[in-house]
């Protein structure tokens, strides 16, 4: 706990205000002192605290999420590779669909913001992209995040095809095709932070029947400095977009809803907002130092913070056995 307190202190000193915090691992719900960690972060000033989990423990013990919400947790991000157990047998080695669904229900019951995160692998679950969006729409989740597989850490040898990976453009085209045009490629705008080649996203209003992109009401590209070119705009529009188009924005948070409301105060209720994003992590075959330098997603340690993709490549990458 002393190391964790030092780590949180590093983050607090690195920013003007405490940044968004993701408690991840490994699998953080295996720690019996997890509520204590969340409570400590809350006391140190972190207001947006997210938990990244595989959902196994929360599904078995739903009261944990209620306890974490009381301690100060605001969001849960649950890995969710599809709506078919055949997918989980390939990606996780177990039939986990029911477990994932139970974890999502437990998080919703605890009053937490809920995001599902899918790792997209060609030939495994690329055909699940539209179904995942439809599921999030039906459940009124706060966010969906797709991450094309990066070749770091551990993975089955059969997956080792770094030259045949899914890419951000691939995922966007699948979203358009598999949602039958409900969302289209042009609805998505690259994220300046961390780097416009790392992430793209959109916000959609979800009334349970259809998804309506925020970009229908606001020409985001005309205001946001997406490609490093200076743009002129109203300060209040830029300020709102700058906070929304960032990896530090937590789906379903008060800050997100407030800034969406600024941009479209009469179009829809901000309670209907959902984030759809695509983020591509770097591995030894795609590592770009310029992108790493601009990274705003860090792994924190007691004495330093390290850009996530640098950390993955330096400390987690290993050759296929």
With 0-12 / 13-18 / 19 or more C-beta atoms within 10 angstroms meaning exposed / middle / buried, residue 285 is exposed
Tell me whether residue 151 is in a domain. yes
What pLDDT sits at residue 174?
A: 98
**Rounded CA separation 192/221 (Å):** 11
Tell me whether residue 139 is in a domain. yes
Range of the domain at 70: 2-316
Tell me whether residue 321 is in a domain. no
Tell me whether residue 183 is in a domain. yes
pTM, 2 dp: 0.90
Overall domain count for the chain? 1
What pLDDT sits at residue 296?
A: 85
Taking only the tens place, the pLDDT of each residue in 231-273 is 555 666 766 776 677 766 777 777 777 777 767 656 667 678 8
Taking only the tens place, the pLDDT of each residue in 12-36 is 988 888 888 999 988 999 999 999 9
Extract the residue ranges of the chain whose pLDDT is less than 50.
Answer: 230
Tell me whether residue 80 is in a domain. yes
Tell me whether residue 228 is in a domain. yes
**Segment holding 216, helix H or strand E:** none
Tell me whether residue 208 is in a domain. yes
In this structure, what are the phi and psi dihedrals at residue 151, rounded to the nearest 5 degrees? -95, 75
Tell me whether residue 30 is in a domain. yes
| CATH code of the domain covering residue 196 | 3.80.30.10
Q: In sequence order, which ranges of the chain are alpha helices (DSSP H)?
A: 2-14, 34-43, 56-60, 63-71, 85-91, 97-109, 129-139, 168-178, 220-223, 235-244, 254-263, 289-293, 308-311
- Structure-token match 């605290």, residue found: 49
What pLDDT sits at residue 261?
A: 75
What pLDDT sits at residue 196?
A: 85
Residue pair 79/146 in contact (Cβ under 8 Å)? The answer is no
**Rounded CA separation 300/307 (Å):** 9
């Amino acid at each position: 706990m002393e190391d964790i307190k030092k780590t949180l202190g590093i983050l607090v000193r690195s920013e003007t205000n405490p940044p968004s915090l993701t408690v991840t691992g490994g699998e953080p719900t295996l720690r019996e002192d997890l509520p204590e960690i969340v409570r400590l972060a809350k006391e140190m000033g972190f207001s947006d605290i997210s938990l990244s989990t595989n959902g196994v423990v929360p599904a078995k013990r739903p009261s944990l999420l209620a306890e974490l919400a009381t301690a100060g947790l605001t969001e849960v991000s649950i890995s969710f590779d599809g709506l078919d157990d055949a997918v989980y047998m390939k990606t996780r080695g177990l039939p986990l669909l029911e477990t994932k669904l139970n974890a999502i229900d437990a998080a919703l019951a605890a009053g937490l913001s809920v995001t599902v995160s899918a790792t997209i692998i060609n030939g495994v679950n690329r055909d699940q992209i539209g179904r995942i969006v439809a599921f999030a729409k039906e459940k009124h989740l706060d966010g969906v995040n797709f991450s094309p597989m990066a070749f770091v850490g551990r993975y089955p040898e059969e997956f080792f095809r770094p030259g045949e990976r899914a890419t951000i453009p691939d995922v966007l085209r699948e979203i358009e095709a598999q949602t039958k045009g409900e969302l289209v490629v042009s609805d998505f705008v690259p994220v300046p932070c961390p780097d416009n080649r790392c992430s793209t996203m959109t916000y959609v209003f979800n009334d349970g029947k259809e998804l309506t992109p925020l970009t229908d009401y606001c020409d985001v590209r005309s205001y946001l400095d997406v490609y490093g070119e200076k743009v002129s705009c109203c300060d209040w529009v830029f300020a709102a977009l700058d906070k929304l188009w960032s990896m530090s924005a937590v789906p379903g948070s008060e800050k997100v809803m407030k800034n969406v409301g600024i941009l479209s105060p009469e179009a829809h209720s901000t309670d209907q907002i959902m984030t759809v994003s695509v983020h591509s992590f770097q591995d030894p075959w795609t590592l770009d130092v310029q992108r790493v330098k601009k990274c705003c997603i860090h792994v924190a340690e007691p004495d330093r913070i390290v850009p996530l993709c640098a950390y993955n490549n330096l400390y987690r990458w290993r050759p296929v056995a």
